[in-house]
Structure 1
Amino acid sequence: MTKILIVDDNVAVLEALSLLLEIHGYDIVTATSPQEALQIVNYQSIALVIQDMNFSADTTSGEEGRALFSDLRSLNPLLPIILITAWTELEQAVSLVKAGAADYIPKPWDDTKLVTTVNNLIALGEANTKNKALQQHANAFGSAKQVAQNIGLIYESAAMQRVVDMALQVAKSDVPVLITGPNGSGKEKIAELIQCQSPLNQAPFVKINAGALPQELIEAELFGAEAGAFTSANKSRIGRFEAANGGTLFLDEIGNLPLSGQVKLLRVLQTYEFEKLGSVKTQHTRVRIISATNADLASDIAKGDFREDLFYRLNVIEISVPPLSERGDDALALVKHFLPGRELSLTAQQAITAHPWPGNVRELENACRRVEILHPDGVLTAEAFGLSCEETQSQTQRTVAIEPSQEEIEAALATYNGVIAKVAKHFGLSRQALYRRLDKYAIDYKS
């Protein structure tokens, strides 16, 4: 409840104003002296002050009121202050309004006018607070977006903003991060974002495609090898853990690492120790591990294809990157990034947003490269991207046809225990489309 402070040495005035404003839904706090008033403002959340101009008997100069006004402004320069004045203090009150007082009311006051003034000032203060919060959010959004764009991560969707926000948050620590998502969705870019915003951003950042390592070379690639350790090892070579020492090692496609490689990787993650192939000398390493996979590791664990103990070493924090099919706004932003300055027809924009892009960003980028070569001039149509208008229209019709109400969404959330993916599937919507409706109806889906 909004709290208003009334300061007056006259108890009858305090009671009358308190009753008037309490009837209109305000929480009232009273003070009979400037000292008491300053204590209240210092320790309580006060939205507005109504103060008298004099607090001592036989005093009419208004100087006490001026001093209190000045002290209150020092405590909180944005606090609205209404002055209660007698006609003898009117000139003093007017000068204080010029100095920043919100308004003044003469004695005896008009109840209706006073309540109207209070309501307006409270509403204005709430609007300013909301706008400030929105601006801070917008600044934070813009800042995060700029950081992401600096490494080539282009997006417009709220779904991707959540991913970026989480990446920026975990970047501050050194815990292992597992990035999951389909091929081509941008997992490597998220790893780069974490690295560039981490305290290790000046240290080595070593990447390796774990799934592309031949089984016989896994140990040499990860830990290095001495000359003569195997047939083609003509000279000593350092491994990725040694190269990344003191920095970050990005293990891409970790789900495709053979079990023999998983055992070797687990050992170094547990002990921070390894030996080069062909050496008996133990080396120590301290690296941050970021890994990525498009595989369902929980399913692989159940099938015996991935070690559960390694999974828990890698998956301290998981960041899930949604497919482009759930980020229609991103698809259009990416096209404009890959084809700067090119004009898109309305049907092309609709088709790009509606198309599922099963190959995700990689597929979209390749489509843009083809367009750049085959259609170097003119307005770009849906056909230029190999997309059909009929498919777009069908997708639009399906989207329009399904418009669940707030009550239906809330019921579905309860039915599916708040699992967004299941609720979205229930209505035939993408998760992004469902998030927009949750925001529209102000439905709390995080609790």
Structure 2
Amino acid sequence: MPRILIIDDNAAVAMALEVLLELQHLHSVSASTPEQGLALLASSRFDLVIQDMNFSADTTSGVEGEQLFAQIRQAHPDLPVILLTAWTHLDAAVNLVKAGAADYLAKPWDDARLLTTVNNLLELAETRNELARRQHHEQRARQQLAERYELGTMVLHDPASLRVVQMACQVARSDLPVLVTGPNGAGKEGIASIVHANSAQRRGPLITLNCGALPGELIEAELFGAEAGAYTGASKAREGKFEAADGGTLFLDEIGNLPLAGQMKLLRVLETGRFTRLGSNRERQVHVRVVSATNADLPAMIADGRFREDLYYRLNTVELALPPLAERPADILPLARHFLDQAHQLGEDAISALRHYPWPGNVRELRNVIARACLLASAPLISAADLALPRSTAPAPVHNGEEPDQRRIEQALHNAGGVISQAASELGLSRQALYRRMDRFGIPRP
């Protein structure tokens, strides 16, 4: 149950507040002096403070209250504080709210407004605590992965990416082929690097071939090598990627772009470990772990006759599906800070812009945006304007009558920092409707 500390030297006021809160099933403790209040804060946990601004009958300056608030803020910077006073000074109220006060109410207070403020602050505090617990759990999960496996420079904080990396580490020890799926720019090559770094072939080379970057007539020579004179321009013998990767890992990026003729020969190598160079009759034997990646719908390509079904099942012994960056919101800011140079930092408006942008280009787009901002920013503190994010690609809000799915609800809650009212507004729902949908999807509610 949340605990609220009331600091007021007027016993009648303190009792009235205790009764009001008790009717809402909220537990409160009272202190009659600033010193007693500070001592209680030092010895016990509280979720909210309601404090008076005047502790002397002969003054209305509020100096004692300001000093108490400053001491609370210094010792407990994240603890929400509601200020009460019988003498409303607008300038003092503005200054104290700027200094971090949650609200500033005049006596006699309005019960409904006070309770609304209390409930909202407690809800926000609980959400922040839950986010902190989750972040601690995610950080510990990453530390445990890093203690057992080699993660290289891969930046991962979101549970969605942690799950993929954990699975990649688990399957790395086997020789089974791995297929990494996900949109362009999501970080599939990083997953392939993790598989290699934790495999039995980690002391061997990691060779990469982008199957979409070469014309079809050169793919076979790139994969298997060629003898001198095997094709126009082949003035000397050359080894292919399979030979270069012998004893290590071959990463075939954009495998969906491999021509059918190349697919058939690739299948044979995967089955036997044997191949021949173009222009040669001599078979060669290699031991290579194959990791492939694609952003294409391979089952649909199979149905269209553009991809071999037998090759698909050979490559897809284990599939690692990497979600787009928009579905890994906890990765956005750590990645952005990872891409920053040492001379720059992110301003608050830039952080907000990064969180709310949908990132259609995924991690690659984020890296390019940060690099451009570092190059063009006129000050060390990067602003939202320096990021120059397009507005036209921002996701449209969900309106009443349009059913938001679990992912959109979780994204809205993340964007709103867990504040139910803000998330409901973004989704175009009432608070009650959002709660009902959260319960339906099993999303924890404050």
**TM-score, L = length of structure 2:** 0.58
What is the match of residue 183 of structure 2?
A: 182
Show the 5 A alignment for 1:15-414. Answer: 139-145=140-146, 151-340=152-341, 342-387=344-389, 399-401=423-425, 402=427, 408-409=437-438, 411=440
C-alpha spacing 1:148/1:256, structure 2 compared with 1 (3 Å): farther
What is the match of residue 120 of structure 2?
A: none
Q: List per-residue Cα deviations over 1:388-435 (Å, max 9, x = no partner).
A: 7996997758733346667645645xxxxxxxxxxxxxxxxxxxxxxx
Give 2:295's aligned amino acid: N
Residue 387 of structure 1: CA displacement?
3.4
Give 1:370's aligned amino acid: R
Structure with the greater alpha carbon radius of gyration = 1
CA contact (8 A) 2:178 2:290 kept: yes
CA contact (8 A) 2:139 2:157 kept: no
CA distance in 2, matches of 1:248, 1:388: 39
What is the match of residue 37 of structure 1?
A: none
C-alpha spacing 1:208/1:267, structure 2 compared with 1 (3 Å): same
Give 2:359's aligned amino acid: W
Residue 323 of structure 1: CA displacement?
0.6
CA contact (8 A) 2:350 2:382 kept: yes
CA contact (8 A) 1:247 1:288 kept: yes
Structure 2 portions without partners, runs of 5+? 1-134, 398-411, 417-421
CA contact (8 A) 1:371 1:384 kept: yes
Give 2:362's aligned amino acid: N
Q: CA RMSD in A?
A: 3.0
Q: Which has the higher helix share?
A: 1
CA distance in 2, matches of 1:368, 1:135: 26
Three-state SS of the structure 2 residue aligned to 1:237 is: coil
Three-state SS of the structure 2 residue aligned to 1:387 is: coil
CA contact (8 A) 2:196 2:249 kept: yes
Residue 376 of structure 1: CA displacement?
4.7
Residue 375 of structure 1: CA displacement?
0.5
CA contact (8 A) 1:328 1:353 kept: yes
Equivalent pairs: percent with the same residue? 46
Residue 225 of structure 1: CA displacement?
1.0
CA distance in 2, matches of 1:137, 1:261: 42
CA distance in 1, matches of 2:251, 2:367: 23
CA contact (8 A) 1:148 1:154 kept: no
CA contact (8 A) 1:328 1:354 kept: no
**TM-score, L = length of structure 1:** 0.58
Structure 1 portions without partners, runs of 5+? 1-133, 413-436, 443-447
